Structure 1
């Protein structure tokens, strides 16, 4: 069996929803929904929007979690450690009761749901997007096996694909999952 390369599985940038970093979150969500509607034939719909700067370079991504996090600015007081949250807070003795006490002590969602949603809709994408770190990029010529290692060890949902240090696409966990499952059942 021929070992596939990342470029054979990735989604090219031209086939992915993108917005400018100065667009609002509302615009990003509308863009995502329009893109999903236009690409309704896809087995796995896109759940994120890639963000570009004034030079047209991809600088970040807005995921479902980023949208929910945008509802409450005070979430930033807790920091953002994807690796820590993937481990699970219960391993550190943090119960649901403790989490509920954080909500109360920090006055999270102290405004109505509707007000929080309206405020979040007007936020600039650059203020809530996730800016990838070094481990969230992969070269187009990397093998799928290496990319899988990178996704698993880094706890990533996707990797931005580079060609000559420029983002040319995105490699999603769901596409690799589909590839592996297809191989298993053949």
Structure 2
């Protein structure tokens, strides 16, 4: 795998699902759906949406889990948890309160879905952390280490400090598999 670099496997931003800040959750999901239908280079579909600022710089990412969190979050629970935090309750107690709140009723009610669909992407997007960036010139070995060490599903690929693409774990996995297959790697007996 030493001859592979990150830029060999990354998906350029131009081919990835992106939305500007201010986009609603429903519109972002529609963009992701369209990207999944249009992207034919890989059998691995897009599982995230990149959020861009007014200068088209990536400022966040919305994966499928973030979408589900946006649907599950209720304003009444958020305000209740914020109030409880001020009294320094333990994380276990806070988790207990969240679980009790979940048991109060379904989250797939029409009203909850309607409220979630109107949320702006910046309300629930994940902001990139330092460990999620990798240079386009980095080796795949470096990228694999970052993916594993940070338990990331993707890395943001940079060139001269600008994000130019995304490296997905599925594409790295496929490259590793094909290298093993190409070299007919088999376990050693003994």
Q: How would you bin the TM-score normalised by the shorter chain?
A: 0.7 to 0.9
Matched, 1:146 2:145: no
Residue aligning to 2:51: 51
Unaligned runs of 5+ in 1: 79-93
1:37 is aligned to: 37
- Write the distance in 2 (CA, Å) between the matches of 1:153 and 1:184: 22
The correspondence of residues 49-88 of structure 1 with structure 2, limited to 5 A, is 49-73=49-73, 77=81
Structure 1 length-normalised TM? 0.81
State whether residues 2 and 140 of structure 2, in contact with CA within 8 Å, keep that contact through their aligned partners in structure 1. Answer: no
Unaligned runs of 5+ in 2: 83-91, 183-190
Q: Report the number of matched residues.
A: 168
CA deviations on 1:1-39 (whole Å, 9 max, x unpaired) are 642110111001111010001110111000011111122
Q: Which structure: larger Rg?
A: 2
Aligned residue in 1 for 2:188: none
Please give the TM-score of this superposition, normalised by the length of structure 2.
0.79
CA distance in 1: counterparts of 2:158 and 2:151, whole angstroms = 19
1:161 to 157, 160, 165: 157
